[in-house]
Amino acid sequence: MARSETPNPVGNVRHNMQEKTETSKKAGGDLAALGVAAAAEAIRKGEMSSESYANALLQRARTHSDLNAFITIDESSVLQAARTADKARAAGATAPLLGIPIGIKDSYLTKGLRTTFGISNLKNYVPDHDAGSVKQIKDAGGIVFGKNNLVEMSYGLTGNNKAFGQVKNPHDQKHVTGGSSSGSGASVAARLVPASLGGDTIGSIRVPASLCGVVGFKPTTGRWPRDGVAPISHTLDTTGVFARSVDDCMLIDQVVTGEIKSDNSSQSDLKGVKLAYAPRQYLELVDPEVEAQFKDVIYRLREAGAEIIEVDLGKDFSSLALTTTWDIFFRETKEALEHFLLENKVPVTFDEIYSGLKPELKEAWGHFALPSGAGYISDQTYKNDLTVARAEIMRRYDKAFVAHGAQALLLPTTPTTAPLIDRQDKFFIAGQEVSYMALANNTIPASSVGLPGISIPIGLARSKLPIGLEIDGPLGQDRSLLSVARRVESVVGALSSPI
């Protein structure tokens, strides 16, 4: 069985979020333009085969391998699974994802397919079981297309990987994709796959979704299965999905959770929807272009019938959320990872992983994640973060969602467009020099208390790089959030294909 370890390919097909055009016109390379729902429908109706769709995506992945979006693609297995799906369809099968290839972040265990977590220690590791979400995708007829490149151990926000290389942004290869689910975001943007599973602890789905110009959905923490996914923090870790439309995210969410759609309407306005935004917190440090596009979207949503109110989450909200979340993020890494490695019989130890990390990541772990490190927080601080601080952050959100009656909170997903790869460690936002950690400034607060959030593209900057809008909802109200996001998406439109 031949294995192609193609670095991430990214492609150039029209980005059509509605994707309702006639399948008969989607011939050859145009098959890659189909999203999840449209492709699944075409396969069920016999308008195209899973094998032809898989072949189109594989060709695209080869053509755009310079994007380095994938660590591993087993082409023969993909084609064999597609042929099996076609036989199943001919026999009457109607599974919701039948014959649809899906990318999988390489932090997920995949039975029989190499899983590296982005580190060289595991370059030859092949698990004997699937992560929970992968099993759900397969059970629904989906096909594992390949394993997406990522930041080592999901610890980073730009897409830089020492062992397997930098992932490049399909809109401009001189720029980062965001991370840690870097290859997942890039491969969906480039039309290499119609969707990909990712992981989000502080923004690792929403940040690359924003910088790559795709839709990225982070469910309520714990709502999706997390078993079989290399962890950072048991308090914060969330699995989720990248796609090119909210509808596709809704379909995959339904497959993974079994929760039925709450809104089957195609309403394209926002009448009766109440939204909030908090400029004092989320426009505190953003590029002027990002702020201008965000404010334009606020205007357009009002024009479409939404009631939009301004709220204030408190002067210290941002600092409280960032400090609390980073504390928990680092404090839980060692324990969470050691437990995961033992439970899943992964053939490497925490110490071996630590020894093999790139120097800057090894330094960060040594300072913050190891009990011997100078930045390792005390038990008392950790307990306070988990209980007192998170409760206060939630109280502030409740003021927006409960006291003001908002169905969702709007904010710029990232405070800037994708930085240059050559300047990814330090760059400027609105004239102020920041580190790459600033890319998650706006995504972190929702992560701190586990709120569901989704990033959708709202346009391009003058640099032709995407700008994202994040929509956060109340705990557990994921389906309602997705319904609101779909209606917002119908107002803000879609991005064209980057390449």
Q: Tell me the catalytic residues.
A: 105, 180, 204
The amino acid at residue 469 is: L
Instruction: Give the other-Cβ count within 10 Å of 387's Cβ.
Output: 10
Phi-psi region of 9 (alpha: psi -120 to 50; beta: other; left: phi over 0): beta
Q: Residue 80 to residues 143, 164, 196, 389, 462: CA-CA distances in angstroms?
A: 10, 27, 20, 51, 44
Three-state SS annotation for 270-291: CCCCEEEECHHHHCCCCCHHHH
493's CB contacts (< 8 A; 6+ apart) are 17
CA 416 centroid distance within chain: 17
Cα–Cα distances (Å) from 457 to 157, 244, 303, 468, in that order, read 18, 9, 19, 4
The amino acid at 203: G
Alpha-carbon dihedral angle through residues 327, 330, 332, 333, given to the nearest 10 degrees: 170
Q: How far is CA 139 from CA 40, 128, 201, in A?
A: 14, 17, 26
Give the separation between CA 436 and CA 218, rounded to whole angstroms: 21
Which residues touch 312 (CB under 8 Å, ≥6 apart)?
278, 280, 281
Ranges of H-type helices in 371-461: 379-384, 390-398, 444-449
